[in-house]
């Protein structure tokens, strides 16, 4: 396993954690405000690993954009939930899932691209 | 005006009775006669129930018509009879047989100036349509009640005063309490005390606004455990838009909540582990690089040969200097250095690989075709063959470490020669 693989595995795991966290808030879990800001785990990954190391890749920039979109969707669902529109908030999880599918697809694309490329831009 | 004629043609089912025991028939409308299929002369003058229309199924004293007539006579007020089913014969032209009909009769006393009862009018209305509609509604209500009862969740209704008017059986099944336990404010006893203030506030709020309600709350089950439910309710309006009641349900979401939290905990752990992997990887990488630099740039020669056939995997700069023009990596020692095969070094490598015993050589002569010009050159080396182990202690290769001592040996030899001279 090389450094890039570990970096992407980290993002994948942090992304799954992110989704779990969104769902947990919508099922009565604690709302950890910081988690859903740029200083949350996924945000931190983008600023410390993703952009500095892979910022030149179009896919990485797209991932960052989807992530922001996902976060906006999540925060909107939290508002619905808090205002008592619980069913609507749960229903909105579908949108999170669609965006997440796209996120994972692009991440896999980028992984394949960097694995196949002999000129991996990553060197640790 | 001919009131007699007029009366006979009133399109109502009317019969007029005398206010006396037996209630003698005084008059009847044509409609009445048609409906009962009698002729006027056949019934006028007869006692109403004893002679004209006897009912063999009920004793006279218990006949509801007689009781109602008695009451109208005694109270001097109109008395209404319960709806009766009295099927009528259909004309043969319409297929014959009986037609299901419902009737509602009233007994109205007619008083004289001093308040004495002169007559009693029995007026019968055909209420079949209303009755059938009522029955259809009852059937439909039964259907919906059955549906509500069979739902695997709590179903309830609340009237416009905010009082619970219905709970389905599921609440009995879930709480183990009889339905009576939930009347008045009884329902509050099964709500978690921490959730009750918000719930009552929200109940009051939606009662006012008519908005939909969704709220998560804990409801106590028969074992005494509070389980999370999602309670929903919606206002039901009549055709004019006025609130009739609120219909609500409570769905058990406890297991889903637990599942979601468990999944989160698992994923948090996975993220922690992955951070540890990342950290360990970075640490291992740093250590590996330090070692690599140490070995590759070391003033000694070094190489790793793998497998029983002794294939070069890694060589450092100084090892390469022994054979400046040869490609070594991925070749076996025998392939790369054919000249050493007969010098016994392969046997020694085989032995180290087999036994795991380190071989040490000091100032050992080896003849090498260093520059690939078929000129064997005497090279003196001090070196070790050390077994290389896998995690399970199995030997997978040999580490060669040493340095060339040709100059020192030759110098030593020269000194010895000089000493001997």
pLDDT at B421: 64
Share of chain B above pLDDT 90, in %: 65
Residue B137 lies in a domain: no
Determine if the pTM surpasses 0.95: no
User: Are residues B193 and B307 located together in one domain of the fold?
Assistant: no
Size of interface A-B (CB pairs under 8 A): 64
Out of B214, B260, B263, closest to residue A85 by CB: B214
pLDDT at B92: 77
Choose between A2 and A74: higher pLDDT.
A74
Which residue range(s) make up the domain with B336?
Answer: 297-420
Contact A24 B264 (CB under 8 A): yes
Residue A124 lies in a domain: no
User: Are residues B174 and B267 located together in one domain of the fold?
Assistant: no
Choose between B50 and A79: higher pLDDT.
A79
pLDDT at B298: 84
Provide the domain count of chain B: 4
Residue B32 lies in a domain: yes
Stretch among B55-59, B353-357, B363-367 having the lowest mean pLDDT = B55-59
Residue A121 lies in a domain: no
* Closest chain B C-alpha to A28 CA, distance in angstroms: 7
Work out the average pLDDT over B286-303: 88
User: Are residues B182 and B102 located together in one domain of the fold?
Assistant: no
User: Closest-CA residue in chain B for A21?
Assistant: B264
Residue A17 lies in a domain: yes
Residue A123 pLDDT greater than 60, yes or no: no
Which residue range(s) make up the domain with A72?
Answer: 3-116
Choose between A14 and B296: higher pLDDT.
A14
Contact B264 A23 (CB under 8 A): yes
Provide the domain count of chain A: 1
User: Closest-CA residue in chain B for A84?
Assistant: B214
The position carrying tokens 């945000």 is: A43
User: Are residues B282 and B312 located together in one domain of the fold?
Assistant: no
Tell me the pLDDT tens digit for each residue of A70-111: 999 999 999 999 999 999 999 999 999 999 999 999 999 999
pLDDT band at A122 (very low <50, low <70, confident <90, very high): very low
pLDDT at B299: 87
Residue A48 lies in a domain: yes
Domain boundary among B226, B252, B278: B252
Work out the average pLDDT over B128-135: 90
Residue A122 lies in a domain: no
User: Are residues B124 and B232 located together in one domain of the fold?
Assistant: no
pLDDT at B341: 86
pLDDT at A119: 46
ipTM of the complex model: 0.86
Residue B146 lies in a domain: no
Work out the average pLDDT over A39-58: 93
CATH of the domain at B407: 3.30.450.20
């Amino acid at each position: 396993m090389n450094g890039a693989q570990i970096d992407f595995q980290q993002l994948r795991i942090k992304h799954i954690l992110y989704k779990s966290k969104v769902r947990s808030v919508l099922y009565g879990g604690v709302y950890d405000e910081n988690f859903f800001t740029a200083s949350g785990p996924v945000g931190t990954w983008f600023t410390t690993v993703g952009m500095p190391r892979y910022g030149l890749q179009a896919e990485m920039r797209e991932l960052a954009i989807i992530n922001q979109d996902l976060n906006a969707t999540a925060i909107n669902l939290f508002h619905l939930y808090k205002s008592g529109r619980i069913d609507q908030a749960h229903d909105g999880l579908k949108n999170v899932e669609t965006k997440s599918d796209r996120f994972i697809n692009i991440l896999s694309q980028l992984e394949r691209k960097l694995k196949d490329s002999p000129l991996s831009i990553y060197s640790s | 005006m001919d009131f007699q004629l007029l009366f006979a043609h009133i399109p109502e089912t009317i019969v007029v009775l005398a206010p006396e025991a037996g209630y003698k028939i005084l008059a009847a409308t044509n409609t009445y006669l048609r409906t009962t299929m009698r002729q006027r002369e056949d019934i006028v003058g007869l006692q109403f129930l004893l002679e004209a229309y006897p009912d063999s199924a009920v004793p006279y004293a218990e006949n509801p018509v007689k009781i109602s007539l008695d009451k109208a006579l005694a109270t001097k007020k109109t008395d209404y009879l319960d709806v009766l089913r009295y099927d009528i014969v259909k004309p043969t032209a319409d297929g014959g047989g009986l037609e299901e009909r419902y009737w509602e009769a009233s007994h109205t006393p007619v008083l004289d100036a001093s308040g004495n009862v002169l007559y009693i009018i029995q007026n019968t209305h055909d209420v079949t349509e209303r009755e059938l509609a009522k029955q259809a509604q009852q059937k439909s209500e039964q259907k919906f009640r059955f549906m509500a009862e069979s739902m695997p969740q709590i179903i309830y209704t609340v009237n416009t005063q905010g009082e619970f008017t219905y709970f389905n059986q599921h609440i009995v099944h879930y709480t183990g309490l009889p339905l009576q336990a939930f009347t008045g404010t009884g329902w509050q006893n099964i709500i978690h005390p921490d959730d009750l203030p918000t719930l009552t506030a929200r109940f009051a709020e939606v009662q006012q606004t008519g908005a939909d309600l969704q709220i998560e709350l804990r409801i106590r089950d028969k074992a005494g455990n509070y389980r999370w439910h999602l309670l929903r309710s919606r206002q039901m309006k009549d055709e004019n838009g006025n609130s009739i009641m609120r219909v609500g349900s409570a769905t058990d979401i406890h297991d889903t909540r637990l599942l979601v939290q468990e999944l989160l905990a698992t994923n948090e752990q996975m993220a922690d582990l992955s951070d540890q992997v990342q950290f360990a990887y970075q640490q291992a990488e740093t250590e590996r690089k330090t070692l690599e630099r140490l070995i590759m740039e070391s003033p000694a020669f070094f190489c790793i040969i793998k497998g029983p056939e002794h294939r070069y995997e890694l060589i450092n700069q100084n090892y390469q200097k022994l054979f400046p023009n040869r490609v070594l990596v991925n070749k076996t020692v025998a392939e790369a250095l054919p000249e050493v095969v007969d010098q016994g070094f392969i046997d020694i490598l085989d032995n180290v690989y087999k036994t795991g015993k380190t071989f040490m050589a000091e100032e050992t002569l080896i003849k090498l075709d260093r520059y690939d010009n078929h000129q064997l050159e005497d090279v003196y080396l001090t070196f070790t063959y050390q077994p290389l182990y896998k995690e399970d202690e199995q030997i997978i290769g040999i580490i060669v470490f040493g340095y060339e001592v040709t100059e020192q040996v030759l110098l030593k030899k020269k000194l010895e020669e000089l000493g001997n001279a």
